[in-house]
Amino acid sequence: MPSVLHYLLAILVFFGLPSTGAAQTGQITGNLEGAALNFEVSNGIGGMPGVYFDPYDDPDYSGVSVIFSALEDSGEAISGVMAFVDFETEGALDLGEMTSENVADAVVMIVDEWQSGAVNPKTIWMAEADRFESLEITRLELSGDTGAIAGRIASQRFCLHDMSGGDPVAIRRDGAMICKPGAVDFAVASDGATAAPPRQPIAYEVLGRITGTVGLESHEWITILPEGGEATATLQPSGTGLDILRLQGHSPSSADFLREDVLSITVVGDVATGSVPSEGTVPVELAFFPGEPGVLYTSQEGEGGVTASMRQLYLDGDRGEAAMYLDGRICRVEDFEPVPGDCRSFEAEVRTEVIRARTD
In this prediction, the residues of the chain whose per-residue pLDDT falls under 70 are: 1-22, 44, 46-47, 58-59, 93, 96, 119, 165-167, 193-202, 228, 238-243, 269-280, 358-360
Residue 150 burial (CB < 10 Å; 0-12/13-18/19+)?
middle
**Three-class DSSP labels, the chain:** CCCHHHHHHHHHHHHCCCCCCCCEEEEEEEEECCEEEEEECCCCHHHCCCEEEEEEECCCEEEEEEEEEEEEECCCEEEEEEEEEEEEEECCCCHHHCCHHHEEEEEEEEEEECECCCCCCCEEEEEEHHHEEEEEEEEEEEECCEEEEEEEEEEEEEEEEECCCCCCEECEECCEECEEEEEEEEEEEECCCCCCCCCCCCCEEEEEEEEEEECCEEEEEEEEEECCCCCCEEEECCCCCCCEEEEEEECCCCCCCCCCCEEEEEEECHHHHCCCCCCCCEEEEEEEECCCCCEEEECCCCCCEEEEEEEEEEEECCEEEEEEEEEEEEEEEECCEEEEEEEEEEEEEEEEEEEECCCC
Question: Which pLDDT tens digit goes with each residue over 89-131?
Answer: 887 767 767 788 889 889 999 999 998 877 678 899 999 988 8
Model pTM score? 0.63
pLDDT for res 185? 97
Contacts of 280 (CB under 8 A, 6+ apart): none
Q: How far is CA 227 from CA 15, 30, 122, 206, 244, in A?
A: 9, 36, 20, 11, 23
pLDDT for res 346? 96
CB 45 within 8 A of CB 37: no
End-to-end CA distance of the chain: 27
pLDDT for res 175? 86
> In degrees, to the nearest 5, what angle opens at C-alpha 84 toward C-alphas 196 and 133?
165
pLDDT for res 99? 82
pLDDT for res 199? 47
